Structure 1
Amino acid sequence: MAGLRDRKRERNRVLTAETAWRLFIERGYDNVTVADICAAAEIAPRTFHRYFASKDDVVAEPVRQMTALVAKQVAAADPGLSDAETLRLAFHELGVFVLGHRDWLSALRTVIEQSHHLRDTHAGVPPEREQELSTMLAKRHPDDAEPDWRRRLLVACSVAAFRIWYDDFLHGTIADPLERLGEMLAAVSRPGR
């Protein structure tokens, strides 16, 4: 019974988010209230707040999903893989996600660009998420003497490479997106560069 309830709750959460996104795209984020979302989704404000703390949380949903995907990939990676290879595989899976959700992510970009509030508050991957990834990588190799700063630098550079790829992809300037992403992530981990 709990499984059915959880699936129904997740389906309602997704429908609420889709309604909010439709309104954000039609009217602009700054011109939509939680009450507007509730009216369009035909739910009570209390139901909305069961799923999201605020309308900012609706906007953060794609980033939350993307961050969770990378963390899941790092956690599931073969312990014999290097940190660089683990990140390359995790970001490759994230690239596949981006390819499959291009319209949603393009809408996210448009909504953020049109909102003064969101431009100021949504600056990308926060440093604490990068630190969490570094910590996850370190836990995979507890006996490794690799300095913490190297792992953190690898994560930060990988995130930066992905962000550049993401921008280029959403602007439509890449012929073979996943191949380009692979090249960029390989350049990050290449010694001497």
Structure 2
Amino acid sequence: MAEPEGSDQITGLRDLKRERNRVLTAETAWRLFIERGYDNVTVADICAAAEIAPRTFHRYFASKDDVVGEPVRYMTSLMAEHIAGAPAGMPDQAVLRSAMHKLGVFVVEHRDWLGALRTVIQNSVHLRESHQGVPPEREQEIIAMLAARRGESGEPGWRQRLLVAYAVTAFRIWHDEYLRGKVSDPLKQLDEMFATIEATESRPGLEGHSLGGK
């Protein structure tokens, strides 16, 4: 049966509203985590502050732990958009470098907020154990995105896996040093870190084996 005229627009508006409500719920939870500490905030507290029912909260998040992972989800979506929009002939290496730079801009623009959340994680034993950088499934998503833009399928090769591991590790180190106030020119340093990776990959003995290739 054909969809009613305008149904796509209605669905799009519903998705937009859902995403907006998800973000507002997450922001409310983060504010409480920052004010009281993660371990002292319950889902009921979040629902009361956001003026929503528990069932509404659970439409967006399985638990309050999922709320803490929301920045990673959002940053992964930024990467997905950037990778999908990269020119078809651009090497994976260059695509990742530009995508990580874009994430760096996001971090710089939201430094206070991300720094506060970092403190929340450090002050919670549970979060310190469960939020140790980018989870493996996120790395797999990035690898899959790079493969998809080349029209490839199947298991990724070790070179692509190593390339993504390099990029994720470099970004994690940069992110940590920046939020700790150890970086004076953050975006320049981020670019320098990726230039160092590329120089390492192209050193003698690895010619013809660039990690950015297929």
1:3 deviates by 3.7
Aligned to 1:135: 144
Aligned to 2:175: 166
Aligned to 1:116: 125
When residues 6 and 142 of structure 1 are mapped into structure 2, their CA distance, relative to the original with a 3 A threshold, is: closer
SS of 1:49's partner is helix
> Are 2:118 and 1:105 equivalent residues in the alignment?
no
d(CA) in 2 for partners of 1:8, 1:75: 24
When residues 128 and 19 of structure 1 are mapped into structure 2, their CA distance, relative to the original with a 3 A threshold, is: closer
Count of residue pairs brought into register by the alignment? 190
> Are 2:23 and 1:17 equivalent residues in the alignment?
no
When residues 23 and 151 of structure 1 are mapped into structure 2, their CA distance, relative to the original with a 3 A threshold, is: same
1:134 deviates by 2.4
Pairing partner for 1:26 from 32, 35, 49: 35
d(CA) in 2 for partners of 1:26, 1:158: 33
> Are 2:46 and 1:42 equivalent residues in the alignment?
no
Contact kept? 1:154, 1:189, Cα under 8 Å: no
When residues 138 and 34 of structure 1 are mapped into structure 2, their CA distance, relative to the original with a 3 A threshold, is: same
Contact kept? 1:154, 1:188, Cα under 8 Å: no
Aligned to 2:211: none
1:135 deviates by 3.1
Show structure 1 runs of 4+ deviating over 4 A: none
Q: What is the Cα-based RMSD across aligned positions, in Å?
A: 1.9
Q: Name the aligned partner's letter for residue 128 of structure 2.
A: R
1:155 deviates by 0.9
d(CA) in 2 for partners of 1:88, 1:184: 10
Contact kept? 1:34, 1:55, Cα under 8 Å: yes
1:142 deviates by 5.2
Aligned to 1:192: 203
SS of 2:183's partner is coil
Q: Name the aligned partner's letter for residue 192 of structure 1.
A: R
- Segment of structure 1 superposing worse, 84-93 or 64-73: 64-73
When residues 142 and 20 of structure 1 are mapped into structure 2, their CA distance, relative to the original with a 3 A threshold, is: closer
Contact kept? 1:157, 1:188, Cα under 8 Å: yes
Question: Which runs of 5 or more structure 2 residues have no equivalent in the other structure?
Answer: 1-9, 205-214
**What is the TM-score normalised by the length of structure 2?**
0.82
SS of 2:39's partner is helix
Q: Deviations over 1:133-160 (max 9, x none)?
A: 22332343458xxx81112111101111
Choose 1 or 2 for highest CA Rg: 2
> Are 2:163 and 1:154 equivalent residues in the alignment?
yes
